[in-house]
Structure 1
């Protein structure tokens, strides 16, 4: 589907009819985590190494609160493997330095690539503040009445 990503109904400021708003809320409820299998806490075999498995064990309990389901497991695995490669690249750059034989260390390019991959995947999974703000449904608070609104009505 082309175009802009859909906003949650609580974030959508466009003018819609009551029927359109109700339909949108029903769609969002259907897409919620309660209708899909939960993400397993046991690390899958497709993880690269112990570091990726440990990262999986660390993030999965946190992601369950964000409606991340088994459908998103590939993204979580991608995140964990990228995290492991990221740490390996940092170790290589620390050990060998930024320059090897007058050329830039290839591990530094891997470090930069994994940094971009982590940022993108974390955003898709709701692991950044901005992405969580789009996912979390704010509670409806009644607006406070403006005490000065009645000033014009007195006359």
Structure 2
């Protein structure tokens, strides 16, 4: 994987006008991808479908989410559905089965939780990723006509 590209907000120090324009264009490009189709896939059922209906409107309102993120969102919803189904199985049967063996739902739930956390972070749904977004937004400077004159080379 190549070097991670920083947008304007997290950049410290001086950058050239050309670099600033490139980074502004990259940020604007995030909103130019095809819009996310809000129809859930037909195979999502139960809790996974409920999660889709809950998160998609929230994501569309705050994050430059696009059709390219579709499979990540589906995977996130499946992971949440799996967590809830496993929890219901554990609640009904216990963490240990009657034969003394551990309930396989515990291991499955644990893996689904790890997957869900990773996917939520990738989609900007975790507290850490939202804090980074908020921090970057707070660092944005208002457009100043005088500043733009000074930046012209």
Same fold (TM over 0.5): yes
- Aligned partners of 1:46 and 1:77 also within 8 Å: no
Shift of 1:89: 0.6
Aligned match of 1:51: 47
Shift of 1:113: 0.4
State whether structure 2 residue 70 is matched by structure 1 residue 73: yes
Aligned match of 2:130: 132
**Greater Cα radius of gyration, structure 1 or 2:** 1
Residue 103 (structure 2) aligned to one of 102, 105, 124:
105
- Aligned partners of 2:82 and 2:112 also within 8 Å: yes
Q: Secondary structure at the match of 1:104?
A: coil
How many residues were matched structurally? 138
Aligned match of 1:149: none
Aligned match of 1:146: none
Residue 115 (structure 1) aligned to one of 113, 116, 119:
113
State whether structure 2 residue 23 is matched by structure 1 residue 24: yes
Which whole-Å CA distance do the structure 1 matches of 2:41 and 2:78 have between them? 11
Shift of 1:112: 0.4
- Aligned partners of 2:48 and 2:81 also within 8 Å: yes
Q: Which runs of 5+ in 1 are unaligned?
A: 143-155
Q: Which runs of 5+ in 2 are unaligned?
A: 143-153
Q: Secondary structure at the match of 2:23?
A: helix
Q: Secondary structure at the match of 2:35?
A: coil
Q: Deviations over 1:127-155 (max 9, x none)?
A: 0121123345414358xxxxxxxxxxxxx
RMSD: 1.9
Which whole-Å CA distance do the structure 1 matches of 2:20 and 2:141 have between them? 18
